[in-house]
Amino acid sequence: MDATPFPFGPHALPVLRRRYLARDAEGRVVETPEQMLARVAGAVARGEEPWGGAAAAREMERAFLGLMSQGLFLPNSPTLMNAGRELGQLSACFVIPVEDSLESIFEAVKETALIHKSGGGTGFSFSHLRPAGDVVASTRGVSSGPVSFMRVFDMATEAVKQGGTRRGANMGILAVSHPDIEAFIAAKRRPGVLENFNISVLVNDAFMAAARADGPWQLVNPRDGAVARTVSAAGLLEQMVQAAHQSGEPGLAFYEAINRGNPTPGLGPLEATNPCGEQPLLPHESCNLGSLVLPRFLKDGEVDFPTLEEAAALAVRFLDDVIEINRHPLPQVARASRLTRKIGLGVMGLADLLADLELPYDSPEAAALGREVMARIAAAARAASAELGQRRGSFPAFAASRLAGGWSHMRNATVTTVAPTGTLSLLLGCSSGIEPYFALAYTRRVLEERDLVEFNPRFLARLAALGLDTPEQRRTLAASGNATAIQGLPPELGQVFATAHEIDPEAHLAMQAAFQASTDNGVSKTVNLDAQAGPEQVRRVFTRAHALGLKGVTVFRSGCRGRQVLELLPLP
């Protein structure tokens, strides 16, 4: 395999070539990874021109390129793929409204296809659709209901390969009070159905209280507000628990927690998120994400906070410039996105940072460090957005927003989001988002026809230092994927390199909460459970996540069915 230049990781090149690097009309790759970063820096810096002219653009181009080529920051995939190229669509996340009419449903299918073609992912609230079997006045027929219409979106997604790069991803959300909620919860229990969807139930505090008190729960037809049925709240929660235990879905999205963080309630409530759940958005809003690479901010065994804060401020400027140059796929998206100018700066590589510091992921020190890191990033990002607001003008909906109380200017309604960084972390060879290591040896199933085999380089280095990196030990590691079977390993090191399934669910939630504390939008996180975990553990994770005030929760039990981006496979 060709050598990959810094800052890219050892397995980046095939992915870059297949999906990111520019091609000519014949489809031949015509740029190097370094040229890709230069293209992105140059294109994004054009966003400076309205304020500082060409000179400012040149200066910021250098700054942006420095930030990326030192491996400190990367924007979300569509920005890397499309900036400075014909398509020019730079956002990862969209929410498309679906109203209770055939016109609206199929308009949304069309909008979805156009967004997928441009590299974005889409989320929907299906809560406004009348239930299956309900009357349709104009035809005297009956409606097929949300779950059935979701299949139309699913098939459209299947058919539209995104500019030849990646297939689209969707989030389907249904309110817990919808009469079709039981069918929705069970929708993905059979394999092969709605494979291009993640699904989440939007639950509210009243429902969680009713479930706790074993009380009744009313299912309400959104068409006329009539109570369709009354069910047991605990019974309904149990259906979610059983389905999530079996298949990892649905996740839960917490209505009040999400809407406490809604900066512009005057524009309406937040009812849907992007595909991976970390970005709640209003109808037709989009969001540009970017992530700081935590292990690269270590200096002399400590996090270099001044450098981290400086990078956060520069990243905010980058992401705000992305809004300037973004070619939105639809006029409605352009309008809604420019009204609030949402951006989402987050992190990747937390597990690497903790391993370098020899802090076990499940230690209170690790959660405290996570909390501080995100608080410092968030404060620097917020201050940078306020300064941009002063120079360039606040986002148009600022005056009526919740931010107007505490600030005189603000360029962006939200500034922070913790993304999954599924592909970005692969490009940089770091751990993804704020997740612990999934395994210490695994194949990454990223490209359709190719698996990438990887050992955790930090763990290998530690084994080598202890004289334990032998073919025998590597085979052991490859077979189990974790450190427990390695002979002669000091127990502290086993704790530092504990993998996702070995970490107590409570510690997963504690880390999610530590980052959520100062994140404007949501935090992408999966709570992994080991194969033997019973439904009661899923139930406990759901109720704890709600009690902690998290915006959402997803569980994944080892070995249960479902799409796994990271898959543990024994090596040959």
Q: How far is residue 25 from each of residues 22, 28, 30, 86, measured CA to CA in Å?
A: 10, 7, 10, 12
Task: Please write down the HEC assignment for all residues of 346-405.
Answer: EEECHHHHHHHCCCCCCCHHHHHHHHHHHHHHHHHHHHHHHHHHHHHCCCCCCCCCHHHH
Q: How far apart are CB 285 and ligand ADP at their closest, in Å?
A: 12
- Cβ proximity to ligand ADP, 82 vs 423, nearer residue: 423
| Number of C-beta neighbours around residue 408 at 10 A | 11
Task: Decide if 423 contacts 449 (C-beta within 8 A).
Answer: no
Which residue from 37, 68, 92, 199 is in contact with ligand ADP, where contact means CB under 6 A? 92
Residue 419 touching ligand ADP (CB under 6 A): yes
Q: How far apart are CB 435 and ligand ADP at their closest, in Å?
A: 11
Residue 526 touching ligand ADP (CB under 6 A): no
Q: How far apart are CB 115 and ligand ADP at their closest, in Å?
A: 8
Measure the CA–CA gap between 31 and 37, rounded to whole angstroms. 10
Residues 6+ apart with CB under 8 A from 198: 169, 170, 171, 172, 249, 251, 275, 276, 277
Of 273-302, which residues contact ligand ADP (CB under 6 A)?
A: 274-276, 278, 289
Choices 6-14, 306-314, 405-413, 417-425 (CB under 6 A): range interacting with ligand ADP: 417-425
Which residue from 179, 250, 295, 420 is in contact with ligand ADP, where contact means CB under 6 A? 420
Counted residue by residue, the chain has a size of 572
Of 122-161, which residues contact ligand ADP (CB under 6 A)?
A: none
Measure the CA–CA gap between 522 and 551, rounded to whole angstroms. 6
Helix intervals (H) in 70-187: 77-82, 102-117, 146-159, 181-186
Choices 204-212, 270-278, 350-358, 499-507 (CB under 6 A): range interacting with ligand ADP: 270-278
Which residue from 76, 125, 473, 482 is in contact with ligand ADP, where contact means CB under 6 A? 76
Measure the CA–CA gap between 459 and 296, rounded to whole angstroms. 17
Strands in 255-325 per DSSP E = 272-273, 280-281, 286-293, 298-299, 302-303
Measure the CA–CA gap between 72 and 410, rounded to whole angstroms. 25
Residue 198 touching ligand ADP (CB under 6 A): no
Of 37-56, which residues contact ligand ADP (CB under 6 A)?
A: none
Buried b (16+ CB within 10 A) or exposed e, 528-541: bbeeebeeebbbbb
Measure the CA–CA gap between 428 and 432, rounded to whole angstroms. 10
Termini Cα distance of the chain: 19
Task: Decide if 353 contacts 293 (C-beta within 8 A).
Answer: no
Which residue from 90, 258, 424, 439 is in contact with ligand ADP, where contact means CB under 6 A? 424
Residue 82 touching ligand ADP (CB under 6 A): no
- Cβ proximity to ligand ADP, 159 vs 485, nearer residue: 159
Strand-strand pairing, 135-136 and 161-162: unpaired
Which residue from 84, 163, 422, 549 is in contact with ligand ADP, where contact means CB under 6 A? 422
Strand-strand pairing, 441-447 and 450-455: antiparallel
Mask of contacts with ligand ADP, 169-188, x by CB under 6 A?
x-------------------
Q: How far apart are CB 268 and ligand ADP at their closest, in Å?
A: 20
Q: How far apart are CB 166 and ligand ADP at their closest, in Å?
A: 4
Pick from 347, 353, 345, 429: nearest CA to 16: 429
Which residue from 166, 411, 458, 539 is in contact with ligand ADP, where contact means CB under 6 A? 166
Mask of contacts with ligand ADP, 225-264, x by CB under 6 A?
----------------------------------------
Q: How far apart are CB 94 and ligand ADP at their closest, in Å?
A: 8
- Cβ proximity to ligand ADP, 167 vs 544, nearer residue: 167
Residue 312 touching ligand ADP (CB under 6 A): no
Residue 389 touching ligand ADP (CB under 6 A): no
Residue 77 touching ligand ADP (CB under 6 A): yes
**Residue appearing with tokens 């890191």:** 373
Task: Decide if 142 contacts 135 (C-beta within 8 A).
Answer: yes
Q: How far apart are CB 264 and ligand ADP at their closest, in Å?
A: 20
Residue 196 touching ligand ADP (CB under 6 A): no
- Cβ proximity to ligand ADP, 347 vs 386, nearer residue: 347
Choices 2-10, 42-50, 263-271, 422-430 (CB under 6 A): range interacting with ligand ADP: 422-430
Instruction: Name the token pair of 37.
Output: 């970063």
Choices 102-110, 164-172, 478-486, 501-509 (CB under 6 A): range interacting with ligand ADP: 164-172
Residue 423 touching ligand ADP (CB under 6 A): yes
Task: Decide if 453 contacts 471 (C-beta within 8 A).
Answer: no
* Binding residues for ligand ADP, total number by CB under 6 A: 21
Catalytic residues: 274, 276, 278
- Cβ proximity to ligand ADP, 167 vs 392, nearer residue: 167
Contact positions toward ligand ADP, by CB under 6 A?
Answer: 76-77, 92-93, 120-121, 166-169, 274-276, 278, 289, 419-424
